Chains A and B, each alone.
Chain A
Amino acid sequence: MSGRTPDFYVAPSEAPPSRRPPVTTIGPLGWARANLFSSPVNSIATVITLGLVVWFIAGFLSWAIRSAQWGVVTNNLRLIGSGLYDRREIWRVELATAILVLLTGLSLGIWGRVARAAFIAVLVTLGIILVVPIAAANIPQPTIHALIEPRKAPSDFVFVGYKGDTVRFALAPQTDLAALDEPMIGFVEMQSRAEWSTQARQARSGELDLAAYNLVVSLRLIDSGGRTVTTPDGLAEVRYGADEPGGALEVTLPADGWYVLKVTRDDEANGERDNNQGYAWLRIEGVELFSSQEGQTATREEEFGAPPEIERPLYAEEKAYRFEGTRSFAEFINLQIAPFFERIAMPLVLGTALFVNGWIIGTLGKRERAVRRWTLLGWLVAAPVILIVLRGFGGSRALPLVSTSMWGGLLLTLLLTIVGITASFPLGVALALGRRSDLPVIKWTCTLLIETIRGVPLITILFMAKLIVPFFWSGLSNIDLTIRMMIGLTLFSAAYLAENVRGGLQIIPYGQIEAARALGLNPFLTTTFIVLPQALRAVIPAIVGQFISLFKDTSLVAVVGLFELVGIVDTIVSGQPIYRPYQREAYFFIAIVYFVISYAMSDVSRRLETSGAGSLRK
């Protein structure tokens, strides 16, 4: 260019073709450059943040996989899911869930658009949940350790075995101090653990001489019928004494059922029992600990019968053992994840099948008015039907009463949330419209209600609902605590909703109302068709945000005596002694549950925003 602006310029008749922008300004490279590394300060911040994120996630995963015990969740799924709901009537909760899942599938098929990515993600997740337990079956069980003591009579180890399993019983005398420092990885019998800590301390301080080991121990495996199981070589019993202090008995089990490893200590070999010295670990490999949960015990006894009656049994059950050492990832999958997936696999598969069926019917029948009508009717009818099915009637045989104070866990949380949302939405809109009314009485009443409720913490409202309302109206003191909590939550949510909706109402340009008036629409029609649709659409983020808050605020009813999700987990970890050390795992699990549901609600919010006329919005 010459540098001089020309006096006269005419563009060529054809515009030059559009070109692609330079590479580093678009695509992932361009994104990274623009957002992460756009300036020296940004770059440093990016590196630091990435470092923190990696460190945090690595630390968390290390805890979660290696040392956390997720059994507290797996073993208490029923409590977490429906609280103290009568165990024998759980089918009613399942029926209610089935109805809801079917209706949701139908609705999504008719009115929703499911992104292909979401569909695939769900299928993949389901596949993983089904496959993992099967794959995990091939991962070897951790070793089980039980201590054999010099003067205490040894217990016989009782376990359930399966045909074809190879089990190995190893006797490992502890004869030198070096053995003390070997880490034990696997399940350790809890009393053994306690005893061994004491002895190890004495051995280190010199009070106890480990080398003076002289125990004589025999091991023999018998099946549920009392017959001895032999090794492939024909060996029935192994005996360890002075010449061969330690060794192993390795057997392949011939059938499914109960087995007893008889552990005998020959005291006469040393003269008398008080002459025995030394400690040995019995290491058992290839045996799976069984759960002592009631439902599982019943199933097990159905399958294999009652455990054999013996004098001093040491059962291979979970609650008698504690896992020591850090697990490998394979063990994590096998011990922690697989049982959890196994528990949820069946209900999940059924639920998904129902959902997909509903979705297919909905998609195919999208245009049919009958399908739409029946689905809407279904929703209307479902609410009271579900409540009746869940509650039942006093004196009924088919549907005995399960009072709402027994409802708990996720069931109660969802119930409070759904009722809260459904009831507070119309009430909130009414309050908002009332506050903007021209009639002073309505206006001041609504304002008073809104400001009073907003001025008080939710927990105060819940306490008032529980304690003060019956005090004022004696006729109301018999109302279910659950219903009182629903009323409290509804009022609270409605007041906040009213303000959100009022904000939306304020942004409607007055010209809209003028145009509606000019067309002859009366105030009711104007509000219904012109004002509310626009106002509500404008504040969808705020409204759904309020609903998400409500979902999490339901946890406060735990303070008033209802056991929803947080309350029931609290009961589990503080009430049952064996689960007391596992608070982190339990609370982390319900944090995930809360997160998943809240995120789903946020997603629905986003979809609502971009539907219809909102698709024009950014």
Chain B
Amino acid sequence: MDNGNSNEPIIVCRDVNKWFGNFHVLKDINLEVQPQEVVVIIGPSGSGKSTFIRCINRLEEHQEGQIIVDGIELSHDVRNIATIRSEIGMVFQQFNLFPHLTVMQNVSLAPRYVRRQPRRNAEEVALQLLARVGIPEQAHKYPGQLSGGQQQRVAIARALAMQPKIMLFDEPTSALDPEMIKEVLDVMKELARSGMTMLVVTHEMGFAREVADRIVLFDEGRIVEMGSPEHFFTNPQHERTRLFLSQIL
């Protein structure tokens, strides 16, 4: 379960296939993610990118293939799933903060009840994380009183409170006003610089170019092209990649 050897990939996906009913949404996905690597996943809507990263923390179940996270294979075994989930943090497009709890309670809930930390410790850590994402003064407000950018940063702090090894981002800035996108991207950049393994689904090409170690293009359920940012933006090989980039840039 531990991963001392930095050459071992922290996420391994082999021939992963998923169906929604009869609809084949993920086709033969093969991907390896190294520790501390930042992988940005791009692609048109409906291409399966969100479904894919939701498979990593078992919010969706794959029908064929293997997904191995930090040495543990994802299967129907519930204990494995619980262990995996506490090592992976996820940030959603719709923030999904708990509206009936204050910001402080949102961030400290999981450490208190899953990790059994005493309240004072959990709140201390929560305050530190809120300071790290830049909003320590909002600790006692309710999510409904914050702006979108602040809410997403709280969501990031909440995910970080469990001290995950991997962070998944599902289009974190797609629901934000342009003025607030920058503050969230700044937090994500700082996170990447500090050495977190990140899997980010996004449309923010500027972010991808600046921070990504690797960029993956999904289309119609399969990986079309994968490479470094330089490769991707200056010399895309696949037809589909060129088409996609021409529309987006």
Q: Are A and B associated in one complex?
A: yes
Q: Which residues of A contact B (CB under 8 A)?
A: 509, 511-512, 514-522, 525, 529-530, 533-534, 537, 612-613, 616
0 or 1 for each of B148-169: is its CB under 8 Å from A? (1 = yes): 0000000100110010000000
* A612 CA / B141 CA spacing, docked (Å): 10
Query: Is B233 interfacial (CB 8 A cutoff)?
Result: no
Query: Is B59 interfacial (CB 8 A cutoff)?
Result: yes
Closest to A530 in B: B98
Q: Which residues of B contact A (CB under 8 A)?
A: 57, 59, 82, 85-86, 88-90, 92, 94, 96-101, 109-110, 113-114, 142, 144-145, 155, 158-159, 162
Please indicate the chain A residues that have their CB under 8 angstroms from the CB of B110 in the complex.
519-521
Least CB distance, A186 to chain B, in whole angstroms = 65
* A514 CA / B97 CA spacing, docked (Å): 11
Closest to A534 in B: B100
Please indicate the chain A residues that have their CB under 8 angstroms from the CB of B100 in the complex.
533-534, 537, 612-613
Please indicate the chain A residues that have their CB under 8 angstroms from the CB of B97 in the complex.
515
Please indicate the chain B residues that have their CB under 8 angstroms from the CB of A521 in the complex.
109-110, 113-114
Given B98, B99, B113, B159, which contacts A518 in the complex, CB threshold below 8 Å? B159
* A567 CA / B165 CA spacing, docked (Å): 68
Please indicate the chain A residues that have their CB under 8 angstroms from the CB of B82 in the complex.
520, 522
Least CB distance, B175 to chain A, in whole angstroms = 11
Given the interface pairs A518-B90, A520-B162, A613-B144, the reply to whether A525 lies near B114 with Cβ below 8 Å is yes
Q: Is the CB of B142 within 8 A of A613?
A: yes
Please indicate the chain B residues that have their CB under 8 angstroms from the CB of A516 in the complex.
98
* A521 CA / B109 CA spacing, docked (Å): 9
Q: Is the CB of B59 within 8 A of A517?
A: yes
Q: Is the CB of B85 within 8 A of A519?
A: yes
23 residue pairs bridging A and B, Cβ less than 8 Å apart: A514-B92, A514-B96, A515-B90, A515-B98, A518-B59, A518-B88, A518-B92, A519-B109, A519-B158, A519-B162, A520-B82, A520-B110, A520-B114, A520-B162, A521-B113, A525-B113, A529-B98, A529-B109, A530-B98, A534-B99, A613-B144, A616-B142, A616-B144
Least CB distance, B65 to chain A, in whole angstroms = 22
Q: Is the CB of A616 within 8 A of B85?
A: no
* A434 CA / B110 CA spacing, docked (Å): 25
Please indicate the chain B residues that have their CB under 8 angstroms from the CB of A613 in the complex.
99-101, 142, 144
Top 8 nearest A-B pairs by Cβ distance? A515-B96, A518-B90, A520-B86, A519-B110, A511-B96, A613-B100, A616-B144, A520-B114
Least CB distance, B162 to chain A, in whole angstroms = 6
Least CB distance, B11 to chain A, in whole angstroms = 16
Q: Which of A509, A517, A533, A537 has the most CB of B within 10 A?
A: A517
Least CB distance, A539 to chain B, in whole angstroms = 13
* A529 CA / B110 CA spacing, docked (Å): 10
Please indicate the chain A residues that have their CB under 8 angstroms from the CB of B98 in the complex.
512, 515-516, 529-530, 534
Please indicate the chain A residues that have their CB under 8 angstroms from the CB of B89 in the complex.
518-519
Q: Is the CB of A520 within 8 A of B92?
A: no
* A522 CA / B114 CA spacing, docked (Å): 8
Least CB distance, A456 to chain B, in whole angstroms = 36
Please indicate the chain A residues that have their CB under 8 angstroms from the CB of B113 in the complex.
521, 525, 529
Please indicate the chain A residues that have their CB under 8 angstroms from the CB of B159 in the complex.
518-519
Least CB distance, A530 to chain B, in whole angstroms = 6
Least CB distance, B92 to chain A, in whole angstroms = 6
Closest to A538 in B: B100
Least CB distance, B87 to chain A, in whole angstroms = 9
* A519 CA / B100 CA spacing, docked (Å): 17
Least CB distance, B53 to chain A, in whole angstroms = 11
* A525 CA / B145 CA spacing, docked (Å): 25
Q: Is the CB of B142 within 8 A of A519?
A: no
* A512 CA / B96 CA spacing, docked (Å): 5
* A517 CA / B54 CA spacing, docked (Å): 11
Closest to B102 in A: A613
* A514 CA / B86 CA spacing, docked (Å): 13
Least CB distance, B169 to chain A, in whole angstroms = 12
Given A515, A529, A530, which contacts B92 in the complex, CB threshold below 8 Å? A515
Please indicate the chain B residues that have their CB under 8 angstroms from the CB of A520 in the complex.
82, 85-86, 110, 114, 162
Please indicate the chain A residues that have their CB under 8 angstroms from the CB of B59 in the complex.
514, 517-518
Given the interface pairs A612-B100, A613-B100, A613-B101, the reply to whether A518 lies near B94 with Cβ below 8 Å is no
* A149 CA / B51 CA spacing, docked (Å): 104
Known: A521-B109, A521-B113, A612-B100. 13 other contacts (CB 8 A): A512-B98, A515-B90, A515-B97, A515-B155, A518-B88, A519-B110, A519-B114, A519-B159, A519-B162, A533-B100, A534-B100, A537-B100, A616-B144
* A616 CA / B101 CA spacing, docked (Å): 12
Least CB distance, A524 to chain B, in whole angstroms = 10
